[in-house]
Amino acid sequence: MASTSLLKASPVLDKSEWVKGQSVLFRQPSSAAVVLRNRATSLTVRAASSYADELVKTAKTIASPGRGILAMDESNATCGKRLDSIGLENTEANRQAYRTLLVSAPGLGQYISGAILFEETLYQSTTEGKKMVDVLVEQNIVPGIKVDKGLVPLVGSNNESWCQGLDGLSSRTAAYYQQGARFAKWRTVVSIPNGPSALAVKEAAWGLARYAAISQDSGLVPIVEPEILLDGEHDIDRTYEVAEKVWAEVFFYLAQNNVMFEGILLKPSMVTPGAESKDRATPEQVASYTLKLLRNRIPPAVPGIMFLSGGQSELEATLNLNAMNQAPNPWHVSFSYARALQNTCLKTWGGRAENVNAAQTTLLIRAKANSLAQLGKYTGEGESEEAKEGMFVKGYTY
């Protein structure tokens, strides 16, 4: 957790000059170091490491037209809950079978540009004995890795949490790169019903920034995920207000940590009412609020905005994404969905070998629907009843 003394001791730019400082870095992204000067001090700042060109290329590959991210990085415990829902025991063999089904779906790379993996999966082989990473690469899908260590209580806050995992992260990200990963993911959350407190927002932003800098130094494109939880009865204006503060804090600390914006991807929540709110928002309203927030807070240098679904139904997540792509955007506005891609697929499979092909077909239907939504061409025709089922879970853990 970032302490006040740590933040004060860090050699950073004045808050009023962070945009200027960031632009200086971008003019020489491949250089070893850039010297920045301001009224108070003279400091040497590292650029985004020797991986700068590769980071930009990887980010652009993931943010390619008509494609998005399959998030399949559920922890073993969370994966166990998914398996339990279809009557399967949480064993490595069952997790392997399900993950094999996902990565080997024929033609998945037409709609999916990246797949976020749990550490077990990064080192795992399919049921046929082929490395999961190799199967993804053959499908033209970039392998990624979840690197955070989960949420724990934030002492001194309003019953809020912070994300752990910075200890040892540099050595872990270096090892993940050697194993074939080319991007990383770190999820932290902010709760509206619990505040959010200034402490929780600063901790979330600082943790994301340190993770992003470390990941880039190891050659991994960091997915920056400041999730505004759906929990609560608040309206869409309250969500916007909180998200505006959180995103501003995140990008301020990213700049202070000299993170190269061209080599990151943002994975935010869409701006929606709380899941327990009496007021519901149309896809057009969600798009209007969310795009306004993006324009006000996100630099155009960021190549991709890969939205999380956050408990929306499969259909709702796709409709909202489609509404955001009805006009050109400065960024690639796409998806990084877990449940909103997998829910119907998992139910179709049911743990039975004879259902694998049908389950993969279901996955491809959802992936294609979101591919069309990324292009602004989704119509919603022919959707199943399962796709309309909400998936919000209060206090959801990943």
In a 3-state reduction of DSSP, which class is residue 140? coil
Q: Which of 74, 119, 160, 225 is catalytic?
A: 225
Q: How far is CA 79 from CA 184, 283, 362, in A?
A: 19, 30, 19
Cα angle 356, 334, 192 (rounded to 5 degrees) comes to: 100
Write b or e for each residue in 64-78: b if 16 or more Cβ atoms lie within 10 A of its Cβ, otherwise e.
bebbbbbbbbbbeeb
Tokens of 237: 């204006």
Residue 267 annotated among the catalytic residues of the structure: yes
- Distance (Å, whole) CA 158 – CA 242: 15
Which residue's entry shows tokens 């070998």?
353
Q: Which two tokens stand for residue 65?
A: 């037209």
- Residue 253 neighbours by CB under 8 Å, 6+ apart: 205, 206, 208, 209
b/e per residue 213-234 (b: at least 16 CB within 10 A): bbbbbbbbbbbbbbbbbbbbeb
**Cβ pair 226, 250 in contact under 8 A:** yes
- Using an 8 Å Cβ cutoff, are 75 and 342 in contact? no
Burial class of residue 15, CB neighbours in 10 A (0-12, 13-18, 19+): exposed
Active site residue 262: no
Q: Tokens 């400065």 sit at which residue?
A: 330
Q: Catalytic one among 146, 185, 202, 267? A: 267
* Contact yes or no for 15/252 (Cβ under 8 A): yes
The pairing of strands 304-307 and 221-228 is unpaired
State the Cα–Cα distance between residues 227 and 312, nearest whole angstrom: 13
Single out the residue of 37, 7, 39, 10 nearest to residue 24, CA to CA: 37
Closest CA to 269 of 237, 304, 240, 299: 240
Active site residues: 225, 267
